[in-house]
């Protein structure tokens, strides 16, 4: 998503537009399936904007940010966060107008997908399952499944189209130009629809197929789960052999079909409860150097580490160092950030580092994560180097009036570089942290607290 270059203000003028009205069927999908994953404010923003365009004959409502703030009774940062959640879910597209033209922003509402497409979309269905749990997910799934009819005892006598209607065969063989033009117009409209499905160039599906040839998996059936596999690979860093093992464990031996729901649950449970498994065999390959490297060397080490780990593995390693575990809420927050496709995995890792290590928070929280992510987006952060630069920029601005009281300098991220990002760190096989290791880590944290400058602020 391209970020706005102009600062958002209450007086910013906005046009809310839509190409078609929101049907009752799609409103049901919005209410029952999107609402749990959007949250109250984002869902309310969607309904408010749909209500505004419905009141207009041309499906275009012109208002200001103040109008939206009043209707929702929230502050501007909350409104921006809600808008971004709608964008990430594929329900809104945001455009900037020309600098000398009004309105400043255009919000184009997107129709919610159908219930069937929602459950077929891996990103949406996985997130819904994580938010509502298996029991409620099953209720929702059954509510949107079409009614099954037992037709085995029936003999169909229905007429076909050409049995009833007469059409010139020459026009079917060579359709009129108007028909072709109309088909092209609808095709172009479909191609402009926003896609939220990412791709992965570093995952070898041919290798995966080779690994599964000796299993009971139906390889032709596997094609329909390509996007699901890509999503899980991008989110958890699962390689081809591990993916083959997970697929094998969730394949139904009676029909050789992959049970996609069991596949999603297995991965979510594995990487939440045994979160250090992915990083167990990885080694942070740093060149040997001094025990007291310079700030640039330490930041370079952090950047290299951030590029080597996928977000879930990075989060898992931090939690393991802290003697804790990845909570389901933390996992969901990281998933939501990844699904928005605003930041690369390496940038998300720096965000995790900033929240848990540099700021010393006990958990990854939605509010703090959104605050930092919004600031980084406004700063145009694209790389881990950009993220660190944004951190320094914020701290410099924050500490400027207090520089004299704070040893004449501002705090830098080098003071809290985690052990596993240092040059002499050796990766460990997956195991629980010993009491001795816990004591050592706690001592390190206590020392870092003494060094931390303004750690209670948003970095």
pLDDT tens series, the chain, 459 aa: 444 455 667 788 899 999 888 989 999 999 999 999 999 999 999 999 999 998 888 899 998 888 999 999 988 889 999 999 999 888 999 998 877 788 888 999 999 988 988 988 878 888 898 889 889 999 999 999 887 778 778 887 887 776 787 777 666 667 778 877 887 777 666 555 544 555 566 677 877 887 787 677 777 777 778 878 887 777 777 878 888 888 888 888 777 888 888 888 888 777 655 444 333 333 333 334 333 345 666 677 778 878 877 888 788 878 777 777 787 788 888 888 887 778 888 899 899 988 888 777 778 888 788 888 888 888 888 888 888 888 888 777 665 543 333 334 444 444 455 555 555 554 443 344 456 655 554 554 455 445 444 444 444
Specify the DSSP element, H or E, that contains 96.
strand 92-96
pTM > 0.75: yes or no: no
Looking at the DSSP assignment, which residues form a beta bridge with residue 252?
Answer: 257
Specify the DSSP element, H or E, that contains 95.
strand 92-96
Quick check: is 148 in a domain?
no
305 and 238 both lie in a single domain: no
321 and 416 both lie in a single domain: yes
Token couple for 250: 């969730």
**CB burial class (10 A; 0-12, 13-18, 19+) of residue 163?**
exposed
The predicted structure's pLDDT at residue 18? 92
- Domain with residue 17: its CATH number is 1.10.10
Which residue among 57, 82, 116 closes a domain? 116
Quick check: is 400 in a domain?
yes
310 and 436 both lie in a single domain: yes
CA angle, 180 then 183 then 186, to 5°: 150
The predicted structure's pLDDT at residue 392? 83
259 and 301 both lie in a single domain: no
Using the structure block, give the residue that is written with the tokens 């005892």: 153
366 and 252 both lie in a single domain: no
220 and 106 both lie in a single domain: no
Token couple for 220: 């032709």
435 and 359 both lie in a single domain: yes
**CB burial class (10 A; 0-12, 13-18, 19+) of residue 454?**
middle
The predicted structure's pLDDT at residue 440? 55
Give residue 258's region: left, alpha or beta (phi > 0; psi -120 to 50): beta
Give residue 133's region: left, alpha or beta (phi > 0; psi -120 to 50): left
229 and 304 both lie in a single domain: no
Q: How many domains does the chain have?
A: 3
Quick check: is 222 in a domain?
yes
Quick check: is 355 in a domain?
yes
Quick check: is 287 in a domain?
no
Return d(Cα 391, Cα 167) in angstroms, integer: 68
Quick check: is 40 in a domain?
yes
Return d(Cα 219, Cα 393) in angstroms, integer: 51
The predicted structure's pLDDT at residue 2? 46
The predicted structure's pLDDT at residue 281? 39
Domain that holds residue 254: 205-273
């Amino acid at each position: 998503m391209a970020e706005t270059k102009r600062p958002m203000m209450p007086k910013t003028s906005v046009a809310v537009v839509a190409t078609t009205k929101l049907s009752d069927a799609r409103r049901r999908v919005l209410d029952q399936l999107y609402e749990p994953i959007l949250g109250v404010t984002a869902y309310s923003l969607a309904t408010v904007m749909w209500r505004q365009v419905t009141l207009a004959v041309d499906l275009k409502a012109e208002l200001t940010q103040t109008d939206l703030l009043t209707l929702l009774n929230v502050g501007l940062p909350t409104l921006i966060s809600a808008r971004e959640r709608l964008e990430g879910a594929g329900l809104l597209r945001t455009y900037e107008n020309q600098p000398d033209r009004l309105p400043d922003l255009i919000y184009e509402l997107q129709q919610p997908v159908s219930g069937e497409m929602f459950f077929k979309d891996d990103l949406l269905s996985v997130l819904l399952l994580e938010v509502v749990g298996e029991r409620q997910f099953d209720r929702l799934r059954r509510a949107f499944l079409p009614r099954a009819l037992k037709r085995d005892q029936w003999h169909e006598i229905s007429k076909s189209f050409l049995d009833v209607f007469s059409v010139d065969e020459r026009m079917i063989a060579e359709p009129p130009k108007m028909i072709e033009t109309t088909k092209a117009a609808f095709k172009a409209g479909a191609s402009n629809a926003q896609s939220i499905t990412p791709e992965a160039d570093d995952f070898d599906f041919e290798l995966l197929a080779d690994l599964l040839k000796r299993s009971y998996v139906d390889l032709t059936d596997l094609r329909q789960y390509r996007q699901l596999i890509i999503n899980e690979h991008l989110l958890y860093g699962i390689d081809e052999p591990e993916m083959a093992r997970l697929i094998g464990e969730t394949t139904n031996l009676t029909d050789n079909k992959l049970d996609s729901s069991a596949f999603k649950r297995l991965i979510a449970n594995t990487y939440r409860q045994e979160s250090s498994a992915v990083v167990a065999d990885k080694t942070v390959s740093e060149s040997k150097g001094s025990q007291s490297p310079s700030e640039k060397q330490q930041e370079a080490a952090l950047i290299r580490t951030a590029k080597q780990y996928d977000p879930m593995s990075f989060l898992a390693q931090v939690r393991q160092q802290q003697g804790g575990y990845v909570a389901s809420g933390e996992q969901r927050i990281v998933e939501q950030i990844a699904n928005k496709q605003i930041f690369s995995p390496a940038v998300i890792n720096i965000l995790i580092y900033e929240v848990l290590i540099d700021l010393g928070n006990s958990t990854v929280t939605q509010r703090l994560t959104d605050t930092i992510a919004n600031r980084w987006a406004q700063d145009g952060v694209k790389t881990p180097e950009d993220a660190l630069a944004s951190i320094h920029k914020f701290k410099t601005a924050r500490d400027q009036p207090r520089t004299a009281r704070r040893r004449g300098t501002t705090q830098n991220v080098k003071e809290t570089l985690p052990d596993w990002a240092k040059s002499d760190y050796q990766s460990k096989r997956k195991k629980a942290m010993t009491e001795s290791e816990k004591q050592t880590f706690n001592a390190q944290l206590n020392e870092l607290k003494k060094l931390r400058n303004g750690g209670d602020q948003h970095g």
